[in-house]
Amino acid sequence: MKIININDNFDEEVRKYKGISIVDFWADWCGPCKMFGPIFENVSKKYDNIKFCKLNVDENEEIPKEFGIMSIPCIVMFKDGEEIKRNIGFIDEDGLNDFIGDLNV
Amino acid sequence: MYDIIIIGAGPSGMTAGIYSGIARKKVLLLEKEAYGGQILKASCIKNYPGLDNVSGIDYAQKLYNQVKELNIDIKFESALEVKNYDKFKEVITNKNSYKTKTIIIASGAKNRKLGLNNEDKLIGKGISYCATCDGMFFKDKKVAITGGGRTAIDDALYLSNICKKVYVIYRQKEFKFDSINLSNLRKKDNVEFIFNTNIIDINGNEKLESIVLKENDIDDTTTLKIDGLFIAIGHIPVSEMFNNLIKTDEKGYIISNEECTTNIEGIFVAGDIREKNVRQLTTACSDGTIAAINACKYIENEKQTDKCI
């Protein structure tokens, strides 16, 4: 699925979304985030039923604060708008596939 | 079979990758986390000849691109063990095992921890080992940094420009060096130095709430409410997975020399993991160069020997 930029519309795209979504919290000044970017994009192409989103923590400070994001890269998985798990720190494609796991989606 | 397996994609490992790649060797570069290693923490590199105001991140990216251009295999796997056989060597990772003619160990060093309860649990939830990585999340907040080395001072200065309040906690009575950054730090209104004091406890469940301080030779403790704790108390070598084969000093640094050889022929060492006195970006790159050139020489010599037989 195509990656969606949700700096301004977290509520519409994630909180109100019925299904699985993953948000990549990132910033320009974060090296491992930049390294993780292409990995997130590659993996997103493999899953049709997961919504892949990116949120820049400099553009939107409120949502990271609400979810207690204090270190990036951080990916958070949501189901029907509720957080179900997260991973802090750089992971490669295998790591991201493991994180997604067997969701039967 | 690989010619050279390099363990660790920090500056020394990636430099070894460049030299091995240019020598057209079949190379595998292993990295367990993000490439770049400790240089990723540098907000600005000011001591590498010819580099002008490059951030550690940009530098790591440039190095990585340079290595990738050379058709080297790069895998994000964690090396767990190295084995030495008569005709080859083997690297076991968390996912695979690989045969190779030579190995360059460039596994570097990791952050030293305080070793307190809740420390691991609260990493990324208020506890950090990298001010330049996580400092922005503590904008206008109260943080503490513990440590008394140059890294702690540089990080404290960085944080003082972002955070409302920065406590600098150090177990000794005064710093043992002087620097421009230290004198700048002393002038900051929002920085408070707490000397002769240790952190003895960390409190918080979902996130860090407070730390408990104890001054040396005084029984009472004080609780300090903070949003973030930055730990900058040095590094420890990442060599425990090679201990069965490779000789280290009592601290865990691999015993070597200017040729970057180890006690096992065909296994070389480069960068911060090597026993030495000066650990800088320049010396890491230097080690990577020497280790790669010597690994190439070793492969050529082995070929000659085989021909004689």
What is the model's pLDDT at position B139?
Answer: 93
- Other Cβ atoms within 10 Å of B25 Cβ, number: 20
Residue A84 lies in a domain: no
Domain of residue A45, CATH code: 3.40.30.10
User: Which residues 49-68 in chain B show a CB within 8 A of chain A?
Assistant: 55-57, 60-61, 64
- Where helices occur in B102-198 by DSSP H, the ranges are 131-134, 150-160, 180-186
Is residue A53 flagged as an active site residue?
no
Asked if residues B98 and B85 have their Cβ atoms less than 8 Å apart, the reply is no
**Could you say which of A6, A20, A23, A33 is catalytic?**
A33
CB contact under 8 A, B136 and A58: yes
Q: How does DSSP assign B188-215, residue by residue? A: -TTEEEE-SEEEEEEEESSSEEEEEEEE
Nearest to A90 among B34, B95, B124 (CB): B34
The percentage of residues in chain B with a pLDDT greater than 70, rounded to a whole number, is: 99
**If DSSP codes are grouped into helix, strand and coil, which group holds residue B290?**
helix
Taking 3-state DSSP, the helix, strand and coil percentages for chain B, each rounded to the nearest 5, stand at 30, 30, 40
The span from the CA of B79 to the CA of B184, in Å, is: 42
CB contact under 8 A, A68 and B125: yes
Is the pLDDT confidence value at B309 over 50?
no
What is the model's pLDDT at position B77?
Answer: 93
Residue A44 lies in a domain: yes
Residue A85 lies in a domain: no
Asked if residues B128 and B231 have their Cβ atoms less than 8 Å apart, the reply is yes
Is the pLDDT confidence value at A79 over 50?
yes
The span from the CA of A68 to the CA of A66, in Å, is: 6
Range of the domain at A17: 1-56
Residue A74 lies in a domain: no
* Mean pLDDT calculated for residue range B275-280: 92
**Could you say which of A23, A30, A69, A75 is catalytic?**
A30
What is the model's pLDDT at position B47?
Answer: 87
How many A/B residue pairs have CB atoms within 8 Å?
64
CB contact under 8 A, A57 and B128: no
Q: What is the pLDDT of residues A16-60, one digit of tens each?
A: 999 999 999 999 888 889 889 999 999 999 999 999 999 999 999
Is the pLDDT confidence value at A1 over 90?
no
- DSSP state, residue B138: G
Is the pLDDT confidence value at B307 over 60?
no
Is residue A33 flagged as an active site residue?
yes
Is the pLDDT confidence value at B306 over 80?
no
The span from the CA of A95 to the CA of A26, in Å, is: 17
Closest CA relative to residue B199, chosen from B118, B131, B130, B124:
B118
What is the model's pLDDT at position B82?
Answer: 97
Residue A100 lies in a domain: no
Q: B34: which chain A residues are within 8 Å (Cβ-Cβ)?
A: 31-32, 35-36, 89-90
The number of domains in chain A is 1
Q: What is the pLDDT of residues B253-264, one digit of tens each?
A: 999 999 999 999
Residue A38 lies in a domain: yes
Residue A42 lies in a domain: yes
Closest CA relative to residue A64, chosen from B143, B125, B137, B206:
B137
Is the pLDDT confidence value at B308 over 70?
no
Instruction: List, in order of start, the domains of chain B with CATH numbers.
Output: 2-110+235-308 (3.50.50.60), 127-231 (3.50.50.60)
What is the model's pLDDT at position A2?
Answer: 80
- Report the relative pairing of strands A50-56 and A4-5 from DSSP bridges: parallel
Q: How confident is the model at residue B275 (pLDDT cuts 50, 70, 90)?
A: very high
CB contact under 8 A, A70 and B95: no
Q: A89: which chain B residues are within 8 Å (Cβ-Cβ)?
A: 33-34, 124
Beta bridge partner(s), residue A87: A75
Q: B132: which chain A residues are within 8 Å (Cβ-Cβ)?
A: 29
Asked if residues B78 and B255 have their Cβ atoms less than 8 Å apart, the reply is no
Closest CA relative to residue B105, chosen from B301, B300, B292:
B292
- DSSP state, residue B41: G
Residue A17 lies in a domain: yes
Q: What is the pLDDT of residues A53-71, one digit of tens each?
A: 999 999 999 999 999 999 9
The span from the CA of B298 to the CA of B265, in Å, is: 8
